[in-house]
Amino acid sequence: MSELKRRSIEVYNWFEQRLGLGAPVIEAAEHEVPANTASWWYVFGSAATVILVLQVMTGILLALVYAPTAGHAWNSLEFLDHNVKLGWFLRAMHGWGSDFMVAIVLIHMAQVFLFGAYKFPRELTWIIGVFLLLLTLGMAFTGQVLRFDQDAYWGLGIGASIVSRVPLIGAPLVGLMLGGPIIAGPTLSRFFTLHVFVIPGILLAMVGLHIWMVLRLGINDWPMPGRLVNRKTYVSEYHHLTEKTGIPFVPDAAWKDSLFAAAIMLAVMACALWFGPFGPTGQPDPTIIQTAPKPDFAFLWIYAVLAYLPPSLETPVLFIAPVLGIGAMLLLPLLSGEGEKHWSRRPVAVLMVAVIAVILGAFTRLGMYTPWSPVMNAWTSDPIPAAYLKDRTPLEREGALVLQNKQCRNCHSIGGAGGMRGPALDAVASKMTEDQIIRQVLQGGGNMPAYGNALNPSETTALVHFLTTLRGDDLSPAIDASQHLVSSSEQPAGPPKEH
Amino acid sequence: MTPSEQQIPPGAPLTEPANPESHKSAGHSRRVFLFKLSLLVNGAVGAVLAVPILGYLLGPALKKTSADNSWINLGPLADFPEGETRLVNFRNPVTTSWDGQTGDIPCWVRRISGNTFQVFAINCAHLGCPVRWFAQSQLFMCPCHGGAYYADGSRASGPPERGLFEYEYQVVSGSLVISAGKMPTLANQAKNESPLVQLEGATSTEAPLPKPRCSSCQS
């Protein structure tokens, strides 16, 4: 045994004499870090790196089978899912790995922000981190395109439409993005190149820089309230702290990183096994228009924001907001490179993280059920509750048919079923008088199209009569107060039903 | 150069001072000159190399918009009953053999009466999603963000800032022909394209009829 050990050391030394990498690597691994940084809060960066390695590995394995041409990509994904042994699992790992990576990069970013890690001398580490976030999102978007299905096709259409709004150079930019006049073969090839060569290359190089700087400048020490960062004294203070409380990163601090990385890998595998791969959804055939395209999870919030922006603000917001947001993140360490690091003394920072998290969460949630979209098949699939038809006149029942036939259900729900674009109609007559309903139906307004051209007078009459019966749980009908005043001198008061 | 050696000593400035000039090479002015000359040569070669690279890269962006459009036969007029709006598919004039189904483009053809048509792009004017026609309510609805358009393509509600994109059309020897080829976006609003010069006025005389490209026409 000791002979074997001696021989292995000899082999190691043979390589080490020529490579000279072992000693510096070991020294880097064992470098001293302040004891207070050996915390469970400091594990997200290494976890993101581990998932990046997973993504590279699974990505290479998928590329063994994937056919990056518009005509065959979708078929090759189906082939991967069903004909290649464990192909579905590799696709699932890559897909879930992507979601986990975006999530962990965001958590990592929030953590270093709240811990003031971006302050002197780690400004550039943060700035490169901002680019790493953008590159990670770039990988997520281009990866979604490579899953070349209906969502990818129309997602590219959304991307091209956004790019086309760039002033002056919109048209050439669309050409540059699509690689041709339409979304087709050259478009997929471009995104394949971006996803497989360009972005990963830049990403890996920047991760290298990022980690190099962490080693060179030392991991951010645990912030203490009142311990301010000062450009003149920080480096010596940090050095002093490391000398006083230093522990070797490997193994004293790194065991938490490695345990957390293992947990995350297990979580990715569990999700992959339990939920399986993402899609592909329908074929990327633009002539199949029965589709409701949606982006992947990381971009749902943008999808939701785009639904709520008023038309006049959309283009400015689309191009000014990202510039401001990214610019603010890049400038943050340069403008606030000194001072307090501890979150308890930085209420604005904590508030910002909370507000941004709530905003992203709320818009993502909205993006999951898209209340702004008409439900295209509601008019043929959702029934009118029987209670709304009981004891109704034939005219009113005819109105229910009109409501169904004219696709009102696509935007308005009744009995909890139907679209959410417009208000639910269950209690419409308790909020609007007959006159108001007629006006709204015929002229539209407030985000409702005018139906004057789509309804003949008898249909309108029937529809409005049906709608006036919808008063929720027998709420009192809406009353036109002014009409009541005018008519009260002539006849006894009552709901303004007859004209 | 190990990281621990690299750690900044107490009180040291963040940036190291520039390398002291090497006395060895500083003396050899001819070698320095030749090195600078070689940098210059490489710069020139790089600049020359950049021309084809940039040309290749920017090719799709610099292409003239109108060059992609050509006249496409959607089929005989009999395919389009008056007063109806129908979905018609055509093969894009510019495709590659590996485009697969993505080379097939749908559009909505509305025959108002006689030779008066409106041919709408499938792409919502908001963000390009496929709009669907609902004959009963006389509306186009978009599944993505809820844009809605009236039968004539004008904006009815929702986030679009304009009506549907319209292709230019002609009626040539009893067939409907549209000018298409490029995905319509706000930067390339299909209708503003100038038609190909050699086909102008094709309505008056019998012009060469393009072969039908649509999948729906029976001819």
Low-confidence winner among A221-235, A364-378, A484-498, B189-203 (lowest mean pLDDT): B189-203
Smallest CA–CA distance, residue A72 to chain B, in Å, is 7
**Contact at CB, A70 and B161, closer than 8 angstroms:** no
Q: With an 8 Å Cβ cutoff, is B13 touching chain A?
A: no
**Are the CB atoms for A196 and A59 separated by under 8 Å?**
yes
**Are the CB atoms for B175 and B74 separated by under 8 Å?**
yes
> Which pLDDT does position B210 carry in this prediction?
52
**Contact at CB, A161 and B146, closer than 8 angstroms:** no
Instruction: Report the run of H or E that residue B72 belongs to, with start and end.
Output: strand B70-76
Smallest CA–CA distance from A219 into chain B, residue: B7
**Are the CB atoms for B71 and B210 separated by under 8 Å?**
yes
Summarize pLDDT for A173-214 with one digit per residue, the tens.
Answer: 999 999 989 999 999 999 999 999 999 999 999 999 999 999
> Which pLDDT does position A285 carry in this prediction?
95
Nearest by CB to residue A181, choosing from B104, B157, B183, is B183
Q: Give me the interface pTM, i.e. the ipTM.
A: 0.89
Choose which CATH entry (1.20.120, 1.10.357, 1.10.287, 2.102.10) describes domain B65-123+165-199: 2.102.10
**Are the CB atoms for A242 and B10 separated by under 8 Å?**
no
Q: With an 8 Å Cβ cutoff, is B96 touching chain A?
A: yes
User: How far is residue A367's CA from residue A359's CA, in Å, rounded to a whole number?
Assistant: 12
User: How far is residue A87's CA from residue A76's CA, in Å, rounded to a whole number?
Assistant: 11
Answer whether residue A413 shows pLDDT above 90: yes
Count Cβ atoms below 10 Å from residue A400 Cβ, excluding itself. 21
Chain A residues with CB-CB distance to B188 below 8 A = 164, 171, 174
Summarize pLDDT for A340-375 with one digit per residue, the tens.
Answer: 999 999 999 999 999 999 999 999 999 999 999 999
**Contact at CB, A175 and B185, closer than 8 angstroms:** no
Q: With an 8 Å Cβ cutoff, is B168 touching chain A?
A: no
Answer whether residue A118 shows pLDDT above 90: yes
Buried b (16+ CB within 10 A) or exposed e, A339-350: ebbbbebbeebe
Count Cβ atoms below 10 Å from residue A88 Cβ, excluding itself. 17
Report the candidate in A137, A151, A60, A142 with the shortest Cα–Cα distance to residue A101: A137
Residue A397 CA, chain-centre distance (Å), reads 44
Those residues of chain B that have pLDDT short of 70 are 1-27, 64-67, 190-219
Chain A residues with CB-CB distance to B10 below 8 A = 235-236, 239-240
Summarize pLDDT for A452-477 with one digit per residue, the tens.
Answer: 999 999 999 999 999 999 988 778 88
Please provide residue A190's backbone torsions phi and psi, each rounded to the nearest 5 degrees: -60, -50
**Contact at CB, A182 and B103, closer than 8 angstroms:** yes
Measure Cα distances from B60 to A175, A186, A251, B101 in Å: 5, 10, 54, 21
Smallest CA–CA distance, residue B207 to chain A, in Å, is 26
**Contact at CB, B1 and A179, closer than 8 angstroms:** no
Cis peptide leading into A121, omega within 30 of 0? yes
Smallest CA–CA distance, residue B23 to chain A, in Å, is 29
**Contact at CB, B157 and A176, closer than 8 angstroms:** no
Amino acid at A281: T
Place of tokens 């709240």: A114
**Contact at CB, B101 and A407, closer than 8 angstroms:** no
Instruction: Report the run of H or E that residue B111 belongs to, with start and end.
Output: strand B104-113
User: How far is residue A99's CA from residue A297's CA, in Å, rounded to a whole number?
Assistant: 8
Cis peptide leading into A251, omega within 30 of 0? yes
Mean pLDDT of A30-46: 94
Tell me how many residue pairs between chain A and chain B have CB atoms under 8 A apart: 245
Choose which CATH entry (3.30.565.10, 3.30.830.10, 3.40.50.300, 1.20.810.10) describes domain A31-369: 1.20.810.10
Chain B residues with CB-CB distance to A307 below 8 A = 144-146, 159
Mean pLDDT of A428-444: 92
Instruction: List chain A domain ranges.
Output: 1-27, 31-369, 378-488
Both tokens assigned to A475: 């709420």
User: What's the full length of chain B, in residues?
Assistant: 219
Strand stretches in chain B, DSSP E: 70-76, 85-91, 104-113, 116-121, 132-134, 139-141, 148-150, 155-157, 166-172, 175-180
CATH code for residues A378-488: 1.10.760.10
**Are the CB atoms for A84 and A65 separated by under 8 Å?**
yes
User: How far is residue B133's CA from residue B142's CA, in Å, rounded to a whole number?
Assistant: 9
Smallest CA–CA distance from B129 into chain A, residue: A154
Q: Which residues contact B43 (CB under 8 A, 6 or more apart)?
A: none
Chain A residues with CB-CB distance to B187 below 8 A = 164-166, 170-171, 173-174
> Which pLDDT does position A225 carry in this prediction?
94
**Contact at CB, A72 and B100, closer than 8 angstroms:** yes
Summarize pLDDT for A64-113 with one digit per residue, the tens.
Answer: 999 999 999 999 999 999 999 999 999 999 999 999 999 999 999 999 99
> Which pLDDT does position A477 carry in this prediction?
84
Answer whether residue A389 shows pLDDT above 50: yes
Pairing verdict, β B175-180 and A32-34: unpaired
Both tokens assigned to A61: 């394995």
> Which pLDDT does position A1 carry in this prediction?
67
User: How far is residue A292's CA from residue B219's CA, in Å, rounded to a whole number?
Assistant: 33
Chain B residues with CB-CB distance to A186 below 8 A = 60, 96
**Are the CB atoms for A293 and A155 separated by under 8 Å?**
yes
DSSP annotation of A222 reads P
Interface of B with A in 110-129 (CB under 8 A): 122-123, 126-129
Mean pLDDT of A421-443: 92
**Are the CB atoms for A94 and A58 separated by under 8 Å?**
yes
**Contact at CB, B2 and A23, closer than 8 angstroms:** yes
Nearest by CB to residue B158, choosing from A172, A218, A447, is A447
> Which pLDDT does position A141 carry in this prediction?
96
Nearest by CB to residue A185, choosing from B99, B148, B215, is B99
Smallest CA–CA distance, residue A173 to chain B, in Å, is 6
- pTM metric for this prediction: 0.88
Summarize pLDDT for A257-310 with one digit per residue, the tens.
Answer: 999 999 999 999 999 999 999 989 999 999 999 999 999 999 999 999 999 988
Instruction: Report the run of H or E that residue A45 belongs to, with start and end.
Output: helix A44-63
**Contact at CB, A157 and B1, closer than 8 angstroms:** no
**Contact at CB, A180 and B137, closer than 8 angstroms:** no
**Contact at CB, A162 and B9, closer than 8 angstroms:** no
Nearest by CB to residue B186, choosing from A161, A187, A291, is A161
Low-confidence winner among A238-247, A282-291, A311-320, B200-209 (lowest mean pLDDT): B200-209
> Which pLDDT does position B208 carry in this prediction?
47
Smallest CA–CA distance from A122 into chain B, residue: B14
Smallest CA–CA distance, residue B1 to chain A, in Å, is 8
Which contacts qualify for A315-320: CB closer than 8 Å, 24 or more apart?
A315/A165, A318/A162, A318/A165, A319/A165, A319/A166
Both tokens assigned to B21: 């000039």
User: How far is residue B49's CA from residue B51's CA, in Å, rounded to a whole number?
Assistant: 5
> Which pLDDT does position B19 carry in this prediction?
55
